[in-house]
Amino acid sequence: MLDRRPLLPTDSHEGIMELVPWYVNGSLPKDEADAVKRHALTCPACADEIARQRRLAGHVATEEAFEAPVARSWETLRDRIASENRVRQPAFSLWTWLRQHQAGMMLSGVGAAACVLVAVMMMPTNADFRTLTASGTAANDTIKFQTTPGVSASELQSVLGKYGLELESGPSKAGVYTTKAKSGTDLAALSKSLMSSPEIIFAAPAE
C-alpha cells in the first residue's frame, strides 16, 4: 500500500534518491547527508537530481512573495479573544477566589469543615449521584476536541461513530466538545487517530 511500504535503506540508490530533497534543504542528519554526498559522487543520476531539486527549491523558496496582513489579522484575533472573554466573564472560579482569600478563611474554614463533615455524615447515600464537575474515574475516559468550521452534526456523529465514541457534551463557548471513550482505551492514541480525520482540528485526553 502506498502509505505503508517499508522505508528504503539509505545505502541503496532508491533510498538515496528519496533523501535528496532533505539533503537539498539542509535538514538531513549528518550521517544521512554524508551518505547522499558519497553516493552522488559516483551516481550521475542522483547528482542530476540534486541539481534539479536545488533549482526547484530555489523557486519554491522565493516564489510568490506577498505582503501578509499581519496587523489586520491581529486586530481580528484580538477582537475574537475579547468577544470570547466577554462571554466567559460570568464564569466564577471558586478555586481562584479561595486562593485569594486563603489567609482570612483559614480560621473560619476549620469550623466550617466540621459543619460540613457532620452534614455529610447525616446525608442519605446514593452511589449513582455524580455532579457534572465531579472528577471520578469516568472523567479519565474523556477526550476534548475541536472541529473544523462548518462540520454538521451528522458529520460529527459519523466521525465519532467510526472510533466508537459518543458525544458527551459541547460545543462549549470556545467550541470545545467532550466525548467519552470506553474504559481502558489508550486515550492519547485515540486522540491522535481522531485528529487524522479532516473534520477534527485538535483532540486530547481531558485532564
Judged by the rule CB under 8 A, the positions of this chain that interact with other proteins are 2-8, 17-18, 21-22, 24-29, 49, 52-64, 66, 68-70, 73-74, 76-78, 80-81, 144, 146, 148-150, 174-176, 188, 192, 195-196, 198-202, 204
54 or 180: CB nearest other proteins: 54
Minimal distance in Å, beta carbon 198 to other proteins?
A: 5
Half-sphere exposure of 39 (CA within 13 A, CB side): 24
Residue 201: strand, helix, or coil: strand
Quick one: 77 or 105, whose CB is closer to other proteins?
77
Identify whether 171 is preceded by a cis peptide bond (ω within 30 of 0): yes
Is 203 in a helix, a strand, or coil? strand
- Return all residues near 54 (Cβ < 8 A) that are at least 6 apart: 24
* Nearest distance from C-beta of residue 55 to other proteins, angstroms: 4
What are the contacts of 63-69 at 24+ separation with CB within 8 A?
none
| Nearer to other proteins among residue 8 and residue 167 (C-beta) | 8
Nearer to other proteins, 72 or 107 (CB): 72
Q: Which residues contact 8 (CB under 8 A, 6 or more apart)?
A: 14, 15, 18
Which is closer to other proteins, CB of 28 or CB of 165? 28
**204 SS3 class:** strand
Which of these, 50, 10, 51, 14, lies nearest to 30 by C-alpha position? 10
What is the closest distance, in whole angstroms, from the C-beta atom of residue 148 to other proteins in the complex?
4
User: Measured from the CB of residue 73, what is the shortest distance to other proteins in angstroms?
Assistant: 5
At its nearest, how many Å lie between other proteins and the CB of residue 12? 13
